[in-house]
Structure formats: C-alpha cells, structure tokens
Amino acid sequence: MFIKSFNSLIFILCSTFAFSQVNDLNVYLNCQNARCYTDYLKAELPMFNFVRDQATADVLVLITDNGNASGGANYTIYFEGQNSFRTQLDTTRFSTRADATEDIRRKKVLNAVSLGLLGYLKSIESADLVKVTFNKTEQKKTELKKDKWNSWIFGVGGNGRFSGESNRSNVSFDGNIRGGRTTHKSKFSFYSYYNNRTNSVVVDSVTNTVKVNDYGFNSLFVAAFNNHWSLGGFVKGYHSVYQNIKFSKSIAPALEYSVFPVQEFNRKQLRWIYQAGIRDFDYIELTVFDKVEETLPYQQITGILGFTQNWGNFSAELSGYQYLNNLERYRLSLEIDLSLRVAQGLSLRFYGNGSQINNQISLPKSSGDAANVLLGGRQLATTFSYLTSFGLNYTFGSINNSIVNPRFSGVN
C-alpha cells in the first residue's frame, strides 16, 4: 500500500475506545534504523496492545528510513502478520522534507502506521470502532507547479562548541555547504566543510595549546543503467594539519554492481563499488619518504552487505585501498554492525571495525613534541587500528508495553 500524499488523506483511528476494553490486536514495533516515535505511537493508538516481544505479536511493524535528495527522509514501513494473519503482508511509504518539524514527521509516521494496521482489523470486532475520513478536495484538476529549482537542493550549516575546566579548554567550530540533484536515473551531490579545533591544557603552570584545522570538499556523480549497474565518479580535495597534508586532490571514475535490485535496499543489499584514479599530495612538512609533493595512481574496491529483517539488523562493509605504483602500500578495512534477537526478551548487539594500515605516506619526518601528539595535533605511525563494542540485553516480565507515563522523565 503506497502513500502518495498525506495532504489528501487523513486517516483516523477513533479514540472513543473504552480503555477497559481488552485489546484484540497485539502489535510489535521494530525500529532498528529509523526514528519512529515509539512513545508517541503508543499514546496516540491506545486501542492496540503493543507488546515487547515479537513472538507474541499478531502484527510485526518494521520501520526504516533513508536520507533523500531534499535532506529529509524516505520512510518505508513493512507490516507482517503472524498467527491468524500470517498470510497478510503490507507496505506503506512516505517522505519528509529537511525543514519538517518533529511534529510533522511523527504525524506522518502515525498516519502510515495507522493506515497499515487497518487491514488487520477487518476480521476482528475492533474494526467496528474504526472511523475513516477523507478531506474534501476541489473537483477541478490542479496543475502541478513547475519546480523553479529543477530538483536541486542546497544547504548550509555550522556549529560551535566550548567546554573546559580550570586547567583545560576545548573550542571547536564547524561549517559546511552541501547540495545536489537526485532523480531515478542519476545523482549528483557535493559537500564542502571546514573544521577548527583548539585544545589547551595547563601542566605545572605551563600552558600547552594545539590548533588543528581541516577543510575540504567531495563530489559524486552517478548514472544508473538498470536495477543493478551504475557508472559514475568521485572528485575530492582536502587539507589536514593532523595528517600533514597542505592539500590533496583526487579524481576517480567508479562502477557499481548491486546483486539485489536497488529497490530492495531497505530490506537487503549487496553492492560492490570499484574506483580507480589519481591522487595528488602537497605536504606541510617533509615526509618520512623525503617527499614534499607527489602524484599517485590508486584503486579502491568496497563491498557493502546489509539486511534489515524482523530478526534484527546486520551490516558489513569491506574496503581495500591501494596505491598502484607500490602495491605494498595499502589499507584493508572491515566494519560490522549486528543487532540480533536471540530469543524472547534476549537481544544481542555487536559493533566492530578494524583496519590493517600500510599506506601512511604523509607522516612527517620530524617527530614533533609530546604535547602536540597528546593533544591530537599530529598523526602517529601505526600498522592497525580497531574499535569494538558489544552488549547483551534481557527483558522479562509482562509482555505488554502500551502504557506511556512521562512523569519525572528526563531528570538526572
């Protein structure tokens, strides 16, 4: 079921239910990769019995969202019946704009969830308590307004942060300009940024200060041939004090193959992207390889695997980067994110990433002082990096979780 416009449809599940009535439909909300306003849905739909374990539910509601060209989000909501509804499957979709308020977004989520649940009330007594109304529309046809921007979207953002203690301080400023145009057959986007960090610490009455800034841009163009193949390219450039790079710029054509049709990326995806190009370096200091500038050919291949299902969420990204003039200078990276429902009330979360690093060609030859390194002003030589986190959560007790009580919430 596809939602084209929420301006033409208002779907209302009447709130005239007697709260003492036993709810007929058990609903499980699964919001793995989306902001779905769980408390708001429970408060606005008290006629349903929201349960905390999917094994006890009559309907599984899986909500996902992905960024769209306007800077907003494309929501897709899947409905999967269980028990007597196991043959019923449904889907609703809608989009939000970047300037949409929280209230606008949550009302759209509420309308979409309500619309999808309607089909599961047909065979139970609660259907008699549902009222559906439509806005009256003008009889004459209205012509679509011409888009003076021709689908181009632009944005500007910035922020500042100040923190500290009596003997240390941290000041940061960030800004960015972004834009692009997206259609079903092609996509162009660009992003430019500026970041400035100043870290100070007082040790033995001596103030040590490090200033680090970086700025750059990246742009992407891609054209789709069909549901599996796309051709495009990347243009990038950046400056980084931390990496000893005065400025680096690169250009690389790229090819992507999607094993699954791209329309299915909300639920499953397996994509391979290959790029090969030229990267130019201009260094701030003389490097460990006695270079102040150089131009190098490179290649990169990236594999992305992802599943979003009612059993949980899994994503993995494998990437290999290599300089073609010296094949021993490479970086191999792997990132894994897993959220798994193991059993009733028991869930497992794991995240990890790691890299084998053999391509630090921009390291400065001079070692620098210790304060500069400790305050994050200079990169150190390394052969690997890693980050991992994991958690286990077990919930037991009543299966019901429909009641929302916000009293005293948010107080430390």
Domain 152-394 belongs in CATH node 2.40.160: yes
- CATH architecture of the domain formed by 9-134: 3-Layer(aba) Sandwich (3.40)
What pLDDT does residue 262 have? 84
What pLDDT does residue 399 have? 72
How big is the chain by its Cα radius of gyration, in Å? 26
What pLDDT does residue 17 have? 39
Residue 353, SS3? Answer: strand
What pLDDT does residue 20 have? 35
The per-residue pLDDT string of the chain (412 residues; one tens digit each, 9 = 90 and over) reads: 444 444 434 444 443 333 334 357 889 988 877 788 888 888 888 888 888 888 888 999 998 887 766 667 888 898 998 888 888 888 888 888 877 888 888 889 998 998 888 888 765 655 555 666 666 655 555 555 677 788 788 889 999 999 999 999 999 999 999 999 888 889 999 999 999 999 999 888 888 888 889 999 999 999 998 989 999 999 999 999 999 999 999 999 999 999 999 888 878 899 999 999 999 999 999 999 999 999 999 999 999 999 888 788 899 999 999 999 999 999 999 999 998 888 777 889 999 999 999 999 999 988 777 767 777 778 888 999 999 999 998 877 777 777 767 777 777 6
Cα angle: 308, vertex 45, 403; to 5 degrees: 90
- Give the number of C-alpha atoms closer than 13 A to the C-alpha of residue 281, restricted to the C-beta side: 23
Q: Where are the domains of the chain?
A: 9-134, 152-394
Residue type, 85: F
What pLDDT does residue 97 have? 80
What pLDDT does residue 9 have? 41
Residue 116, SS3? Answer: helix
* Cα dihedral 319→323→329→334 (10° resolution): 0
Ramachandran class of 180: left when φ > 0, alpha when ψ lies in -120 to 50, beta otherwise:
left
Distances from the Cα of 113 to the Cα of 19, 45, 195, 219, 371, angstroms: 20, 10, 40, 36, 55
* Cα dihedral 8→11→16→19 (10° resolution): -150
- Of residues 295, 302, 303, 258, the one with CA closest to residue 277: 295
Contacts with 133 (C-beta within 8 Å, 6 or more apart), sequence order: 10, 12
Integer Cα distance of 382 and 367 in angstroms: 14
pTM: 0.76
- Of residues 126, 133, 122, the one with CA closest to residue 49: 126
Residue type, 37: Y
What pLDDT does residue 290 have? 94
Contact 210, 198 (CB under 8 A): yes
Pairing, β 59-67 against β 26-33: parallel
